[in-house]
Amino acid sequence: MITVVDYGYGNIFSIVSAFNEIGFKCKVSDKENDILNATIIVLPGVGAFKQAMRSLEIKKLDKIIIKAVANKKNIIGICLGYQMLFDKSNEFGVYNGLGLVEGEVRSLKTFDGRYSKIPNVGWRPLILNKENKIMSDKNDNQMFYFVHSFVPFAKYEKKISSFIKFNDNKIHASIHYNNIVGFQFHPEKSGKAGLKLLKESTEYLLNRD
């Protein structure tokens, strides 16, 4: 069972439609049992980090998600949902995330922004992390849709599955590690390549040891 967490922030319809397209049924829920019993938890997100985390906390979904992942349940974070998997964010202050991935969310203004506009909006080619080896090589240089002003940086780069170039910097674009998958981009809005990667990632989680 795939449960998409309903906490008020995220393109839930697009995500459910994408999973349906690749042959997986989803339940949209904010109920504890649906999350704890899910095979895969999907955490979407669009908007501001502080408000999104606050929405999770009000419903006590933060503690439920942390408990589920500690019990080896799988999770996929998308866009802001991906950022919330990390220890903290520096978006308009410093705010704690779920702490499922060691690292922090930084502004793209941290990097040299003289050449690229912020927010980073549009289609960008992925650069695979050859040390990670979970994402298929077929995803290398494929175009995916991004819209963001902040980006997470993992403490341990071996967890990162892909990068994109932002000026002269390689920034972290996705993570595949044990029972955690995350995308800074929107696979559900990235056409056939996005659907293929979403299916590949879902199957990776379902089939991992």
Q: Which residues are the active-site residues?
A: 79, 186, 188
Q: Are 80 and 47 in contact (CB under 8 A)?
A: yes
For residue 34, give every residue at least 6 positions away whose Cβ sits within 8 Å of its Cβ, in sequence order, or none: 1, 3, 27
Lookup: tokens for 16: 């459910």
Amino acid identity, residue 131?
E
Quick one: CA torsion of 136, 168, 100, 3, rounded to 10 degrees?
-50
Q: How far apart are CA 131 and CA 199, in angstroms?
A: 22
- Cβ count within 10 A of residue 110: 13
Q: Are 82 and 183 in contact (CB under 8 A)?
A: yes
Q: Are 69 and 179 in contact (CB under 8 A)?
A: yes
Q: How far is residue 148 CA from its own chain's centroid?
A: 12
Amino acid identity, residue 118?
I
Helix (H) or strand (E) holding 137: none
